[in-house]
Structure 1
Amino acid sequence: MFGLGAYRRWLRSDRVRLGRWGERRARAFLRRRGYRIIARNWRCPAGEVDLVAADPSGPIAFVEVKTRRDEHWAPGQQAVHERKQQHLARVAQWFARRYGLKDRSLRFDVIVVVVPETGRVEVRHYPSAFRPPC
């Protein structure tokens, strides 16, 4: 029998595995479309971004990946609320300073990976999903 603590640890580890799996799907999706993956799970004092990718058309995309078993509660792109957008903007500023990207066009994308019980994976890409709030 599971105690509450063990159950919570199991749920968290399951979510972490699902999230990592979704990030792998998102990387493969972008590569198939000609993007070059620059960084994954890039960390700095401001936080972390799931993926940084160079779009073949030029901009650098900071990509938040949301993996869902279903979308009964809220679609993945709605999970990137204003506070998360501010967080990603700060991370992007750190990244741009660190790698001298001040002259490059930056944008913020969301990729939603949905894994329904039917097993057919759906990947949705929302380029320029938001402009960071001031």
Structure 2
Amino acid sequence: MGINVLYVGFEADVSKDISGLYDFQTKRIFVNKDIPANRKTFTIAHELGHALLHEEYVRSQNYQAMPRSNYHEDKPAEEVEADIFAACLLVPKHMLRAYKGFADTAELSEIFAVSSDVVVNQMKFI
């Protein structure tokens, strides 16, 4: 798709809060190199969601890197949609259905290389 992924170190004052961001101008996803591997995977998928679904939003004044701690409070609809896109891309429902009887949540997290939270949330929809 012509989108490059770069693992970068963010400034110390924001590094603990920011997983990544997408730059439409350069077609680059910037990922915090200091976050866990499964978080990096989710961040790339989330930012890819922005690239495919939210060009107008990302180019607007409303777009900003959202702190990870701001999961539910005042989260713009585009951020929620990018989270859902990432979850569906990384944990397809048909595959989750196939594995759920053979593995617990922790094992499913490893199989899909995502956090347990992503697996638990996807289980609600199968």
Q: TM-score, structure 1 length as denominator?
A: 0.29
More strand by share: 1
Q: TM-score, structure 2 length as denominator?
A: 0.30
Structure number with bigger Rg? 1
